[in-house]
Structure formats: C-alpha cells, structure tokens
Amino acid sequence: MKILVIGSGGREHALFWRLQTDGSASEIYALPGNAGIDDRFRVNISMSDHAAITDFCRSKTIDLVVVGPEAPLVEGLVDHLEKEHIPAFGPKKDAARLEGSKLFAKYIMEKYNVPTAAHWDFVGKDKLLTFIDTIKEYPVVIKLDGLAAGKGVGIPLNRDEAVAFINENVKADTPVFIEEFIDGEEASVLGISDGERVYPLVAAQDHKRAFDGDNGPNTGGMGAYAPAPVVTDDLMEKIRLQVLQPVVDGMKKEGCEFKGILYAGMMIKGKDIKVLEFNVRFGDPETQVILPLYDGKLGELFMASVQGKLTKDIVKFKSAHAMTVVVASGGYPGTYEKGKEITGLDHVSDDIIVFHAGTTHKNGKVVTDGGRVLTVTAIADTLKQAKDKIYGEIGKITFDGAFYRKDIGHRALR
C-alpha cells in the first residue's frame, strides 16, 4: 500500500515507523512530519488544506490516509477524503465530537449507560462561580467543552484554585462543566472499531504530571508503558462490554457511525470502572508503547477498520512490555524556548527507539521545536528490563534545558 500519515508529533512518527517497518507500506509519506522522518518522505502541506491533501493523494495514488491528531478529525478531513474516494482511517466529523465536545461525550455516556462521573453544566462564569461557593469537598474537576490541546481540565484542591482556573480559562460564552472527582488509578484503553465491532488494544498507562512522584502541573504526557497491570483480563472484558461496545452501538443509533480509534481514559478502583474522557485517535505517548507490541501488519488492521471488516484475530499483541519516556524542553508545560540543538541521537543503543515529537532541522542540525521533544522507547520481556534499557541510554541525548521523569512505570513496578 501507499500510505500518508497526517500529523507532526511523536504519535505520528510512531505510526510512520510502524507502517514503514512492518511491511504495511510500499511507499509512505508524512504530512508534515518532523525531523525524525527523512525529508524525502515529508510533505509540506497544511493539515487544514483539504484540497491540497487531496491533490497530493491523487498525484501519489495513495491507498490509505492515517489521520493522527484530533484537530483534522474534528474539522472533517475524513469526510472530505471519503467524498473524494480516498480511504482514510479515523472517525468522521460527527463521530469525532466524542473528543471535540466533552459535553457531547457526556450525553452519549449517560444515554447509553456508560459508567462516568456526575456533572453539572454551565455557560460562562457567573452561575459557575455561584456554584463553586456551594462546594464543600475538594478536589473537583472543571472541564472546558471543546478541544484545548490537553489543557482544558482543571483539578482544583480548594476554592481559590477553582476561581483562579475559571478566571483564566472561562469567558462569558464558554461552555464548561463541573465533574465529581473520582479517585483511583488511571489507565488508557484504546479500542479499534469498524462501525459495528470494537476490539480493545493492549492497555497502557500515561504519566500526566511533569515531575517525579506525580508532582507538578498536568502535561500532555511525560511517559507511558504497556501493558498496564491495573487492567486485568476480566476488567478489559468489562470495559469492552460496558464502555467501548455501548458507545459504538450508541453512535450508530445517533446516526454518526464510529470508525477508527476509540480511546477511553479510565479511572479504575478495584473492580469499579468509570470513564474520564474519550479521545477519537491514538494517544500520545501511549502510541509509542502500543504500536511496538502489535503483532501484525498495522496497515492491514487500519484498512479492515475502514472497510468494515474487523475480526478479533487480527487484533493481537506480543507477550512483551514497552515503555517510553518523554524528554521535554525546560519550562514545559509552561513557557519554553525553541531552537536548542539536540546532540547524542546517534549514540543511543540499537535496543532503543527514539521517536521525535517537537523537532525540526535548522542549519543542518536537529533542534527543538516544541515542549515535548523526544520519546525514548524500549521493548523487553519485562517492564523492569524495558525501564533499565531506557534509563541506561537516555542521558546520552542532550539539549539545553532538557528534562525527563525518572520514575515512569513506578505504579507497575512498586
């Protein structure tokens, strides 16, 4: 197949890598890609320029477009490509509302009896601040309705923090809701659907806080590992039956068939499960640990989803463990500088896969171009071995201000 991957982050580099190395693609391109991908295979077209993307696909006779990030999905890129008879992996615009609108996701969960937290809706600040004054127990969760690049959720520990989050993020016409705080252990359960069936992939666990010990501000993710032992076989089947399949069935009843990746952010406490949020694409950095464990040709899996021909036997994973650690720019997730030269990439062991996230080329050098710069990944028979591989090599990669967490995987290894 000839394949085009849409996106520029670590997730898209991992998708490109897997499709290129597992025999899925005879030709593969990334639009726009990053410095981890050879310039010969990068396409300098905006992800929002649907007409130019279509023209490129026609010129290269692309067989499959794989859409990585949420924004092009919410903007309807898959709809456009389908009208042009170009197969694309991912949900259409109506189905992508599961991520594009957290309130729509709540509506679907409540209508189709998917376990989730109670919530209270508001528009703007006034009634929201009045409601805040009635809250007796913290923490609570405050969520903005639309896409916010991972920054639309606040978990204030007291009234002052709640008011500060609201004043910073909520305007007079902002849809927002308060959600009860759910205690437990988080896990990412991604399923792949063809509109009828949905099969879970190997469960992963992300680390959202910036610093060791799960301290500091929330980020887009500082590392991940898979499989996540908190999701036992019994719990995975429960999540399939009570979360993934009811949503796929419900979306079909709502007239917006869901094809692609349905990502359920779960909170697990004992045998109790609740959904925190849905995404409609692969997670980042979860992709960097899920894809290395997939046992098959990824392109065939994606095409089966597009064509409505998914079968359980094609969704299979190796009996191994994977971990990835994010190397971030100093100051992330707040203000950080770009353009820092990255050295040591050619010094790491062949046992390590370095996925680029926020990188670019400048004057013949690889330099930083984002907050999350690299994800350093390893596969091994045990999680401890994967961790030892990474932390034995990651220090060879340096740039001014670089930092990373040193305790990724601590919940599984303790």
Q: For residue range 168-222, what is the model confidence (pLDDT) as tens digits?
A: 889 888 899 999 999 999 999 999 999 999 999 999 999 999 999 999 988 999 9
**Using an 8 Å Cβ cutoff, are 88 and 107 in contact?**
no
Mean pLDDT rounded to a whole number for the chain: 96
Question: What pLDDT is recorded for position 414?
Answer: 82
Has residue 274 got a pLDDT over 90? Answer: yes
Pick the CATH number of 321-413 from 3.40.50.300, 3.40.190.170, 3.90.600.10, 3.40.430.10: 3.90.600.10
Q: Give the pLDDT band of residue 145 (cuts 50, 70, 90).
A: confident
Question: What is the rounded CA–CA span in Å between residue 74 and residue 69?
Answer: 9
Question: What pLDDT is recorded for position 148?
Answer: 66
Q: Where are the domains of the chain?
A: 2-92, 120-179, 184-314, 321-413
Question: Which tokens is 397 given?
Answer: 């990669």
Question: What pLDDT is recorded for position 149?
Answer: 61
* pLDDT tens figures, 363-393: 999 999 999 999 999 999 999 999 999 999 9
Question: What is the rounded CA–CA span in Å between residue 5 and residue 32?
Answer: 9
Question: What pLDDT is recorded for position 92?
Answer: 98
Has residue 150 got a pLDDT over 80? Answer: no
Q: What is the largest CA-CA distance in the chain?
A: 61
* pLDDT tens figures, 30-42: 999 999 999 999 9
Q: What percent of the chain has pLDDT over 90?
A: 92
Task: Give 342's DSSP letter.
Answer: P
CATH assignment of 184-314?
Answer: 3.30.470.20
The yes/no answer on whether domain 120-179 falls in CATH 3.40.50.10680 is no
Question: What is the rounded CA–CA span in Å between residue 375 and residue 359?
Answer: 11
Strand partners, 267: 186, 274
* pLDDT tens figures, 62-93: 999 999 999 999 999 999 999 999 999 999 99
Please give the CATH topology (third level) of the domain spanning 2-92.
Rossmann fold (3.40.50)
